[in-house]
């Protein structure tokens, strides 16, 4: 058939069922007719060909879809389920694969027969109480249980703390200061600077851009995870500095050789310290970091992510992203979590009370909460590597981006900012409940530092 004959031939009416948005070009051509039939409001119109036949009240909440109601004639329900599954699958590239369905045609799930529930079950929905969920489970637990197990796994719980600081420093990777180490041991006899010489610790930059003290192997692994390649703007004298500190450590000889002042020398080495190619050793010298000779860097990055997840009882996608750092793509994080779900290590769904986010949890760790005694009253310093886990609580409840977080009866009750220069805890801002003040006094007594108050105290604000 020629083009002219094909154009003159009658076209078959398109009767495909589609679930679209009101801004879709297919809908916008006759949006007034759609709104005349389906009324005004924010919803996804359902069209059979060009005829509006129903609507889906669905919106995104954090990283899942909340489907409040589906209004569709029962004659089209089977065809609708297929189109609805395609709609939800289209959000997988945005890492949204969980949906909760509350009502169908204005009726609760309990009011429908098993045939209707089974029809939605074919596209991945399972019943959980009075709702249907796709892509996860609903087993909420108290937040206090998750915090108790989290601190126990990271040696902050009183039953898992180390006996003294020497054992704590050997099992900790990337310690920023004495505050981050003191909470993990019962006795604290030497400070971090003194232990750096005894344990031959180096000082460098971790994946979050913070200066930490750790052994050489730790920084070697981080550089391999970063990629190990020098930036394109690296100068010849910086390359020469890397070669020099690969064999020697005395910076004074390098400065004398090139007639450099201390300020000029710092400008040369600071970019290489930030990229992880150079670290400072325990004798105030410098050492060049050589990347590990691994065949696939992707396996090392995946192993690093799995180590983070190994001791987390419950974690959300945002918490995992902040703990891992910005160098990891969202697809890498989601792949590590999905791998754990497929292997049966993690469960996925709504696992914490009052947390409207999809969580990944380890059932064997969550079940241990009943066996552990309640967590002691505690102050989590901003230098601790677990602080990104509580960044949402700091920001939403107390209005801080980074601060000391006070726990009382396993709940965050206050947060404060403080300067710790001159061996004094100078509190510059406090927001929270009054009962958190006693916990701060115990925190200062444990560190053997006096407290000073320099500015406002906002009690009762959360």
Q: Which has the minimum average pLDDT: 81-95, 121-135, 446-460?
A: 446-460
- Model pLDDT, residue 1: 56
pTM of the predicted model as reported, rounded to 2 decimal places: 0.86
pLDDT tens-digit readout, 258-296: 899 999 999 999 999 999 999 998 788 899 998 887 667
Helices 262-274 and 251-258, axial angle in degrees (round to 10): 120
Note whether 444 and 418 are within 8 A (CB). no
Average pLDDT, the chain: 87
The average pLDDT across 3-26 equals 77
Interval 119-143 mean pLDDT: 90
Q: 393: pLDDT confidence band, cut at 50, 70 and 90?
A: very high
Burial class of residue 262, CB neighbours in 10 A (0-12, 13-18, 19+) = exposed
Q: How confident is the model at residue 85, as a pLDDT?
A: 92
Cα–Cα distance, 332 to 40 (Å, whole number): 41
Integer CA distances (angstroms), 440 to 32, 156, 404, 433, in order: 62, 16, 10, 12
Q: Give the tens place of pLDDT for each residue, 28-74.
A: 766 767 777 778 778 888 888 878 888 899 888 888 999 999 999 98
Domain boundaries, the chain: 3-135, 229-290, 377-462
The fold of 229-290 is Arc Repressor Mutant, subunit A (1.10.10)
Antiparallel, parallel or unpaired: β 185-187 and 162-164: parallel
Cα(272)–Cα(258) distance, rounded to whole angstroms? 18
Architecture of the domain spanning 3-135: 3-Layer(aba) Sandwich (3.40)
Report the pLDDT value the prediction gives residue 205, as an integer from 0 to 100. 93
What's the mean pLDDT in 403-420? 92
Rounded to whole angstroms, how far apart are CA atoms 225 and 228? 8
DSSP notation for 184-221: TEEE--S-HHHHHHHTT-EEEE-TTS-EEEE-HHHHHH
Find the mean pLDDT for residues 90-99.
85
Give tens-digit pLDDT for 196-255. 877 888 999 999 999 999 998 999 999 999 887 888 888 889 889 889 998 888 889 989
pLDDT single digits (tens) 415-426: 999 998 888 999
């Amino acid at each position: 058939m020629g083009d002219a004959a094909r154009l003159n031939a009658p076209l078959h009416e398109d009767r495909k069922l589609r679930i679209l948005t009101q801004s879709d070009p297919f809908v916008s051509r006759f949006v007034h007719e759609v709104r005349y039939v389906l009324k005004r409001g924010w919803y996804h119109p359902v069209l059979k060909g060009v005829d509006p036949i129903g609507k889906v009240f669905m919106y995104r909440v954090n990283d899942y879809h909340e489907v409040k109601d589906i209004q569709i004639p029962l004659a089209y329900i089977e065809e609708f389920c297929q189109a609805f599954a395609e709609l939800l699958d289209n959000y997988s590239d945005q890492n949204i694969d969980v949906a909760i369905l509350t009502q169908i045609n204005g009726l609760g799930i309990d009011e429908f027969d098993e045939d209707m529930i089974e029809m939605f079950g074919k596209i991945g929905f399972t019943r959980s109480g009075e709702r249907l969920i796709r892509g996860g489970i609903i087993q909420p637990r108290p937040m206090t249980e998750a915090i108790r197990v989290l601190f126990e796994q990271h040696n902050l719980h009183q039953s898992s703390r180390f006996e003294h600081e020497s054992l704590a420093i050997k099992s900790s990777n990337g310690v920023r200061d004495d505050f981050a180490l003191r909470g993990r041991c019962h006795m604290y006899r030497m400070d971090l600077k003194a232990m750096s010489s005894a344990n031959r610790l180096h000082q460098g930059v971790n994946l979050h851009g913070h200066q930490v003290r750790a052994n050489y192997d730790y920084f070697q692994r981080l550089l391999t995870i970063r990629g190990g390649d020098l930036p394109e703007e690296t100068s010849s004298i910086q390359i020469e500095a890397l070669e020099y500190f690969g064999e020697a450590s005395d910076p004074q000889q390098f400065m004398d050789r090139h007639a450099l002042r201390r300020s000029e020398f710092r400008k040369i080495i600071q970019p290489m310290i930030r990229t992880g190619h150079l670290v400072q050793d325990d004798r105030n010298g410098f050492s060049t970091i050589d990347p590990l000779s691994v065949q696939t860097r992707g396996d090392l990055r995946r192993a690093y992510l799995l180590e983070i997840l190994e001791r987390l009882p419950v974690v959300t996608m945002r918490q995992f992203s902040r703990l891992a750092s910005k160098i990891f793509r969202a697809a890498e994080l989601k792949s590590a979590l999905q791998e754990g779900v497929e292997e049966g290590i993690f469960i996925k769904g709504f696992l914490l009370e009052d947390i409207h986010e999809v969580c990944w949890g380890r059932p064997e760790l969550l079940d241990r909460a009943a066996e552990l005694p309640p967590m002691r009253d505690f102050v989590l310093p901003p230098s601790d590597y677990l602080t990104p886990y509580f960044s949402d609580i700091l920001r939403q409840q107390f209005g801080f981006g980074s601060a000391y977080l006070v726990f009382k009866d396993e709940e965050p009750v206050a947060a404060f900012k403080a300067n710790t220069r001159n061996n004094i805890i100078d509190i510059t801002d406090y927001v929270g409940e009054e009962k958190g003040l006693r916990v701060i006094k115990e925190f200062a007594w444990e560190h053997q530092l006096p407290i000073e108050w320099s500015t406002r105290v906002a009690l009762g604000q959360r």
